[in-house]
Amino acid sequence: MQAQVQENRVEWEGALVQRAAAGDTRAFERLYREHSGRVYGLCLRMTRDAQLAEDCVQDTFINAWKALSSFETRSSLGTWLHRIAVNVSLAKRRKSGPVVEPDPEGEDGETGSWTLETPVEVKELEEAIGALPDGARDALVLHALYGYSHEEAAQMLGIAAGTCKAQLHRARKLLKERLKLEVN
């Protein structure tokens, strides 16, 4: 049953994309309402600035509107919008000037997953993620929070997959230290 619901949703979204690509602004408005919240969350996590994130969302959808006719349905619209949002966020972050990142202590080669052993408030976790250096935060947001593979996240960020993995490792290590988490 859930597969049928998903299939209907894909067809519905595909029809909206076709109508929007043909110039139907109401169809595009529906797509915007459907995806803008998740795009904003991604932009906010990447920029750490609510106003800048709002600007990124606006630019993402302006770019999407302009390029909608070239959208290929090989990926979902959400994935395509996230790719645009990542590019917009990175460009805006570069324009705003360099961010000084703390120099991490030596990499220990530690692998494994991390789990929350003590209750951590969502706000505390969001603050800890927001305090991560840009590269580590970007890799964590795209891979661990949004579920993109290392290769997909690396491609979005314009880095090698190995660099993405190293940044994710760095992010997990820094979060573990800041939140006093146990690594299993």
- Residue 100's pLDDT is 38
Q: Does 114-183 match 2-95 at the fold level?
A: no
Residues in the chain: 184
**CATH topology for 114-183?**
Arc Repressor Mutant, subunit A (1.10.10)
Phi, psi of 122 (to 5 degrees): -55, -40
23/121: higher pLDDT? 23
Domains of the chain by residue range: 2-95, 114-183
**Are 149 and 155 a contacting pair, CB within 8 Å?**
no
91-100 burial, b for 16+ CB within 10 Å, e for fewer? ebbeeeeeee
- Say what the pTM is: 0.70
CATH class of the domain comprising 2-95 = mainly alpha
In angstroms, the CA 80 to CA 71 distance is 8
**Does the pLDDT value for residue 29 go beyond 90?**
yes
pLDDT tens, residue by residue, 110-164: 434 444 444 556 778 888 888 999 999 999 999 988 889 999 999 989 999 999 9
